[in-house]
Structure 1
Amino acid sequence: MQLPTAATLWRAAASFALGLVAGTIGTVMHRAVRPWGLVLCVLLVLVIVLIARAWCGWFGYGASAGGALLAIQVLATGGPGGDVLVPAGDLWGWGWVGGAVLAVIVVGLVPRRWVTDDGPTAP
């Protein structure tokens, strides 16, 4: 296994930050305009994780997926005042968490040729 370069580590750190942003925006906004808020927030996670995988490979994928899921997990718990952004008995909350996890899994299953730029192959 080849060790990651400094550029790859910086890209992974940026991918983690983008994942945090996507998870935070999605957790706050998934109930805004039903059902389109949920759909757009899940698509946001899917796009961010896909871009991170295309940008720096599996390091970016893992970092952005971890950032998004970490933000969702932290924001889904109760706040200091008892406020909850993702209520446990709410189907919209389950749709958000399940949709975000499904988006991360789908991006992990995307073929490598979809996210690499090897150029056209000669016959």
Structure 2
Amino acid sequence: MPQLTATTLGRTAASLGTGLLAGAIGTVMHRSIRPWGLVLCLALVLAVALTTRAWAGWPAYVAASVGVLVAVQVLSSEGPGGDVLVPAGDGWGWAWVIGAVVALGSVALVPRRWVEDTPPDAP
């Protein structure tokens, strides 16, 4: 298990911010140019999750995932003026929400050797 150091905490906090940013951008832009806006936003979430897991391990990955999910949840709710970024019953909105969860979950299943920078054993 990795040590909990100041570097790990800093990277985890940065990953949370990156996840919040990716979730906010995706929630706003997933309907922009159909279907490519959705595809690019899901690719952004996948890239952020994979990058944070490779950069600082599980704590950063969990923080980025929480950031994405919080941003999607908050921005999907009704705003003070009654406006909604992800309308209920809209297929594109459901594809964004479920696709983001699937993208985050798929990174959890990636083998460790894909995200660790350890040299192969020398013969």
Q: CA RMSD in A?
A: 0.9
Structure 2 distance, partners of 1:71, 1:88, is 17
Q: Offset at 1:3?
A: 4.0
Structure 2 distance, partners of 1:20, 1:78, is 18
Correspondence 1:60-79 to 2 at 5 A: 60-79=60-79
What residue ranges of structure 1 are gaps of 5+ in the alignment? none
Correspondence 1:1-40 to 2 at 5 A: 1-40=1-40
- Figure out how many residues of one structure are paired with residues of the other and give that number: 123
Q: Secondary structure at the match of 1:31?
A: coil
TM-score by length of 1: 0.97
Q: Offset at 1:29?
A: 0.1
Determine the structure 1 residue equivalent to 2:100: 100
Structure 2 distance, partners of 1:60, 1:51, is 9
Determine the structure 1 residue equivalent to 2:91: 91
Q: Secondary structure at the match of 1:100?
A: helix
Q: Offset at 1:121?
A: 2.0
TM-score by length of 2: 0.97
Partner letter of residue 32 of structure 1? Answer: S
Structure 1 distance, partners of 2:2, 2:16, is 21
Partner letter of residue 67 of structure 2? Answer: G
- Write out per-residue CA displacement over residues 61-111 of structure 1, whole angstroms, 9 at most, x where no aligned residue: 000000011000000000000000001110000000000000000000000
Determine the structure 2 residue equivalent to 1:114: 114
Structure 1 distance, partners of 2:84, 2:55, is 34
Determine the structure 1 residue equivalent to 2:48: 48
Partner letter of residue 105 of structure 1? Answer: G
Partner letter of residue 68 of structure 2? Answer: A
Structure 2 distance, partners of 1:103, 1:32, is 20
Q: Secondary structure at the match of 2:119?
A: coil
